[in-house]
Structure 1
Amino acid sequence: MRIRTLAYAALTATLTAALAGCGASEPVPEEPAATSTGGEGVTEYPLTLDNCGTEVTVDAPPERVVSLDQNSTEILLSLGLEDRVVGTASWTDPVLPELEAANEDVPRLADNAPTYEVALGADPDFITASFGRHLNESGVATRDRFAETGIETYLSPTDCEGDVSINGGGTRTHLLDIESLYTEIRELAAVFDVPSRGDALIADLEERTAEALDGVDAEGATVAFWFADTRTPYMAGGYGSAAMLADMSGMENVFAGTADDWPATGWEAVVEKNPDVLVLGDLQRARFPGDKLEEKIEFLESDPLTSTMDAVKNKRYIALHGAEMNPSIRSVDGLEKIGEFWKEQDAG
């Protein structure tokens, strides 16, 4: 990778010269691992990670990172790395309010996925992505293509089962665990040599999760998560991030038997399952009909078929931003909103 520090290069040259002058009986000191010159000085470099079946090696903290997804971007900003982020993409919602100042001067390369040329134009030395679709032939570019230019890539563990990318064409076989998100935070914190910031972020998310779920009793209520599209709605399947939210809060996902994260289905199937609660994606974009919350509610309550559901009749809606329904630090925001809904139900 081409982000080796000058100090490390100078050290290598010095040791090479020393080796040339040593006799066969002279002790040769081992070359120490390079460490960060601008972070906490804890990570030892080169650092190698097994990332979704791809070996990722960094020689020093990246100086110029491009994040291909909002989820990844908000982790980087939460770790205080805004001065390293030279481009972001694929946004579904405004940045978290507490990260607005950090994000203010970060270039947005595209609202959706950028082209390879645009991503490369930011002159990155590291690429992060939350979803594997960006790192395949039909996406921004393959990991091998980035590697040919000396750029390492990192894919969120939330998108991986072993060496298979779920969003890149694979299928989940077990429920997503929030520990995958914590692994992503720890590994990115290690890559950028800010491990204590990663530990602090994880501790905060764990504390908030415990508080959000404290006293919540969903009593096995059934739920459906609707992400987008009024024509062929994308509803949460049984193993992805939304299913994880249902499981953690004690609700029963009515599409639990579906392996895909967000399968497109028909309204007849949704109405037949008649969930007690509908979690509605409030997306601040205009990609599909019904992206925004008010459009979803208007459709549900005016359509002759969907208006017959108990959740619609009783207006039992939980509104979550798109990023809160994807595996990200906002998953905890989603849990807080779900917990608040059930606490209000109990109080009522």
Structure 2
Amino acid sequence: MYARRGPRLLAPLLTLALFATACAAGDSGGGDAPAGGAGFPLTVRNCGTDVTFDAPPERIALLESAPVTILHGLGVLDRAVLRAGAFPEEYYDAGTNAAIAGIESLGEDLDESGHLQISRETIIAQEPELVLGLPDGITREGLAEVGINALVQPVYCPDGVDATTFDDVYEQIELYGRIFGRTDEAATLAAGLRERETAVEESVEGRPERTAAVLYPTVGGGSGYAYGNRSMAHPQLAAAGFTNVFGDVDERVFEVTTEQLVAADPDVLVLLHVDGEPDDVKDALVTLPGADTLRAVRDDEILVQLFNFTEPPTPLSMTGLERIADRFGAGR
């Protein structure tokens, strides 16, 4: 029924465009259980590949923004020795933004389709032990040849993923806790997020049933993309008390036509973007032919927010959940 677009093409565009490959959701907490007092060497599964750590990484290259909140929560953000790409201040608190500003930046060079432009040689020259995110042209194998490990977000596996839930957030935190030897901090971080998730779910109990869609509009032409049940958007809407009108689509993200959107006619719309002005993102949707017939457009029930507030599954997804509940009147 719906046109499909593979995650390999969409992931770089939609996640601050910082990586083009990823790993399976089932891999996020996998791997051998740590043995011995220190728990190292530690082997985990990522994108179907074994990644072995002889010790907690001390030098991190951040080639995507999504892991920042986990690293901060574990108290290891100071191990990031370089970064590349965009790290919007809106995502983080003042302390985290100050920490990010102190990390050497290799630039925000993105091509016209939003891909991070950086060479393997540039990364290697900084001698990181762990790279988070894989931009175009950078492979896990190429880094492994010089002894550098790489991890990417489970939701972006080119082989596809199962339905996403908030458990994916907690599993990613647990995985990082093991890798960095911060399991207690990981448990504390996850517990706090679970409390926040429960608070939102309780706040929307008894609210009249409403529908929603999460979209990535194409600024400059085209109807854009929608998120199915394999995206973090799906459990996020459910926790906020909404039914995802595209919840029957077994895709993370897919190309959607205006006609399909009009037929679904959701009560509210959440529009995601990675750069540009929110008003331009909103205009890209509301000016589409026929969009004025959408009840969400007529009632101005639209929220525009940065992409990592939804995807991939991280603590930022919890903030995004709270933003959705606040914007659309939790409990009303």
What TM-score comes out, normalization by structure 2 length?
A: 0.78
For residues 335 and 125 of structure 1, what CA distance do their matches in structure 2 show? 33
Distance in 1, Cα, partners of 2:212 & 2:254 = 15
Take 1:214 and 1:335, find their aligned partners in 2: how far apart are those partners?
13
User: Match of 2:329, SS?
Assistant: helix
Deviation per CA, 1:98-127: give whole Å up to 9, x if none: 411221201233435333222223211112
- Distance in 1 between residues matched to 2:282 and 2:52, nearest whole Å: 47
What does the per-residue CA deviation read over 1:191-241, in whole Å, with 9 as the maximum and x for residues that have no partner?
Answer: 222222212211121111112222204533111111231424121122211
User: Which of 296, 306, 310 is 2:295 aligned to?
Assistant: 310
Task: Indicate whether 1:343 and 2:332 are aligned.
Answer: no
CA 1:63–1:140: 2 relative to 1, 3 Å: farther
In structure 2, what is the equivalent of residue 153 of structure 1? 150
Distance 1:268 1:108, change over 3 A: farther
Q: Displacement, 1:315?
A: 0.7
Q: 1:34 to 1:325 in 2, by over 3 A?
A: closer
Equivalents in 2 of 1:76, 1:301: separation in Å? 37
Q: Distance in 1 between matches of 2:327 and 2:229?
A: 22
How far has the Cα of 1:344 moved from its partner?
5.4
Larger radius of gyration: 1
> CA contact under 8 A between 1:86 and 1:107: conserved in structure 2?
yes
Q: CA deviation at 1:140?
A: 3.8
The match for 2:128 is: 124
Tell me how far apart the structure 2 counterparts of residues 89 and 269 of structure 1 sit (CA, whole Å): 37
- 1:201 aligned onto 2:189: yes
> Aligned equivalents of 1:93 and 1:266: distance in 2?
30
Unaligned residue ranges in structure 2 (runs of 5+): 1-33, 111-115
Mapped contact 1:223–1:251 kept (Cα < 8 A): yes
The residue matched to 1:206 in structure 2 has which SS?
helix
SS in 2 for 1:63: coil
* Structure 2 residue aligned with 1:278: 269
Tell me how far apart the structure 2 counterparts of residues 34 and 250 of structure 1 sit (CA, whole Å): 42
Count, aligned residues: 286
Contact 1:237 1:256 in 2 (8 A): yes
1:224 aligns with 2:213: yes
Flag the structure with more relative contact order, 1 or 2, with Cα contacts below 8 A and sequence separation at least 6: 2
- 1:22-171 matched pairs, under 5 angstroms: 43-91=38-86, 93-94=88-89, 95-98=91-94, 99-111=96-108, 112=110, 113=116, 114-129=118-133, 134=134, 139-157=136-154, 159=155, 167-171=156-160
- Structure 1 counterpart of 2:255, from 261, 264, 269: 264
Deviations, residues 250-299 of structure 1 (Å, cap 9, x unaligned): 3121222323322122222212211111112254x24xxxxx32113334
Partner of 1:16: none
CA shift for structure 1 position 178: 1.6
Unaligned runs of 5+ in 1: 1-32, 36-41, 160-166, 287-291
Q: SS of 1:61's equivalent?
A: coil
Q: CA RMSD in A?
A: 2.4
Change in 2 beyond 3 A, CA 1:342/1:298: closer
Give the Cα separation in 1 of the matches to 2:250 and 2:87: 23
Could you say which residue in structure 2 is the equivalent of 1:243? 234
The answer to whether the 8 A contact 1:280-1:319 is kept is yes
SS at match of 1:45: coil
Give the C-alpha shift of residue 66 in structure 1.
1.0
| TM-score, scaled relative to structure 1 | 0.74
Identity of aligned residues (%): 26
Within 2, Cα distance between the matches of 1:90 and 1:260? 27
Once residues 86 and 243 of structure 2 are traced to their aligned partners in structure 1, the CA distance between those partners, rounded to angstroms, is 29
Q: Which moved more, 1:322-331 or 1:139-148?
A: 139-148
Give the 3 Å change call, closer, same or farther, for CA 34–87 of structure 1 in structure 2: farther
Shift of 1:90: 4.1
Q: Please give the alpha-carbon distance, in whole angstroms, between the structure 2 residues aligned to 1:260 and 1:333.
A: 23
**Shift in Å, 1:92:** 6.4
Q: Give the distance between the partners of 2:157 and 2:310, measured in 1 at CA.
A: 18
What amino acid does structure 1 have at the position aligned with 2:193?
L
1:304 is displaced (CA, Å) by 4.2
Match of 1:184 among 163, 172, 190: 172
1:328 aligns with 2:325: no
Q: Confirm or deny: 8 A CA contact 2:172 2:314 kept in the other structure.
A: no
Partners of 2:226 and 2:107 lie apart in 1 by 26
Report the CA distance between 1:82 and its aligned residue: 2.5
